[in-house]
Amino acid sequence: MGVDEAVAGFDWDAGNREKCQRHGVSIAEIEAMFKRPLAIRPDDRHSATERRFLAVGRTAAGRWVFLAFAHRERGGKVLIRPITARFMHRQEVRQYEEENPDL
């Protein structure tokens, strides 16, 4: 699943930049992930004040990434606000591939 055409871009600030990069995933890698196939599901557990999503996808280099993000409206436009991103551990990748054999 890719990103909806109605999304106008990304919502970055010092807080979410630092949190995402802390795990070694660059801003460019995160933004590029949304141009590739993603498995996206709602994150109902953390969605008390806004609608959040969890996504799994690959970077252009083929590394698996786990990403949490929200949709934010700014100036009448919908933006993707990455909350955190990290490279998946080998065991997580193996489990994900077993559960999704048609990748």
pLDDT digits (tens, 9 = 90+) for 63-79: 999 999 999 888 888 89
Number of domains within the chain: 1
- Judge whether 29 lies within some domain: yes
Region of 102 (left: φ > 0; alpha: ψ -120 to 50; beta: rest) is alpha
Q: What is the pLDDT of residue 26?
A: 94
In angstroms, the CA 76 to CA 10 distance is 14
**Does 2 score more than 60 pLDDT?**
no
Residue 7 has pLDDT above 90, yes or no: no
CB 49 within 8 A of CB 70: no
* pLDDT tens-place string over residues 42-58: 998 876 778 899 999 99
Tokens of 89: 């551990």
Per the structure, the complete domain to which residue 92 belongs is given by 7-99
Q: Using CA atoms, how far apart are residues 37 and 57, in angstroms rounded to an integer?
A: 7
Query: How far apart (Å, rounded) are the C-alpha atoms in residues 38 and 41?
Result: 10
In-domain check, residue 2: no
Asked if the structure places residue 1 within a domain, the reply is no
**pLDDT score recorded for residue 6:** 75
Mean confidence (pLDDT) of the chain: 88
